[in-house]
Structure 1
Amino acid sequence: MTSRWIFTTCRYTLLWGTLAVIIPMAAAAAMAASSSHGEKTTHGQNDTTMDHQGMTGQFKHDMTVEGVKAEFQVMSLESMKMKDPDGATHHVMVKFINADSGEQLKEATGKIKVIAPSKKEVVVDLTDYSGTFASNVTFDEPGKYGVICLVKIDGKKPLYKFWYMHH
């Protein structure tokens, strides 16, 4: 064996060994940094909390944007013992609250956009149910869904975004 071959072999072994250690560590750090499950995080003006209630078929997500707190709930229609005539599988509800006074804001118009893991997008109108706004949507494939809510409320147009994991 030549010294050049030994040097090359050692160099590649060191390179691949280092990558084998660094890549999993970087992936774990990135996942930890992007998740806020059950914790409160602050991003500038946005306060966010999530509550995954396991097997109950219910998911809660609260966040504050532009002084308007939104309390979201995503529930499977099955867990509510309901069926949608159009075939939707889930019910998305949201209450809007003035973050300063704690008063529920009951006059709003808005839409929810759902982006499936396959990148398929659906936009639905929020229907007013005496100050609680809701719509039925379909989560028909497992994976991470993007949920975006844009509303006109109290002279503002806050935009809310969160992830919903459907199993």
Structure 2
Amino acid sequence: MRYWFWKLIALGLIGSFAYTAFDLQRGGYFSLPDLAQNEYGVSFRNGFRAIVVEDNPSNQSAANQSDIFRRLTAAHPERRYRGITMQVPSWLESQWSRCERAPDGADPNREALEQTMNESMRREYQLARLDYYCFVLSDNDRILRGVIYSVPRS
């Protein structure tokens, strides 16, 4: 009986390690470039991968994690992040983009972005906070890869 118990425990541990490795691979964290101390990675299910600079994380212990585990969602656990991707060439879709904080107040870029959204998406993001504009570099040209919105976690 003990033999089967320890076999099940070992199988469970191996399965959890395999799932963690699969999840990190799917999120692109094995191809994550080196991060500075105040940079955090975030990967969305739609394939959008971004590196953001965050000088004031609400959870200071998140800054001490290794690069693979230093995530924006851990730095701000009180917020939920949503990434919207832009149309880019297929070879840029799996690249990590660098993000800049969106300006506070009236932002003409936000207004132009919201004009390109369909009505249901505009309604969904109406009260969300636009946090970051994310860009990729291609032949020294900055291409808008996506934007990151956040809402309070309830």
TM-score by length of 1: 0.33
Higher relative contact order, structure no. (Cα contacts within 8 Å, ≥ 6 residues apart) = 2
Q: Which has the higher helix share?
A: 2
Which of these two proteins has the greater Rg computed from alpha carbons? Answer: 1
Q: Which has the higher strand share?
A: 1
TM-score by length of 2: 0.35
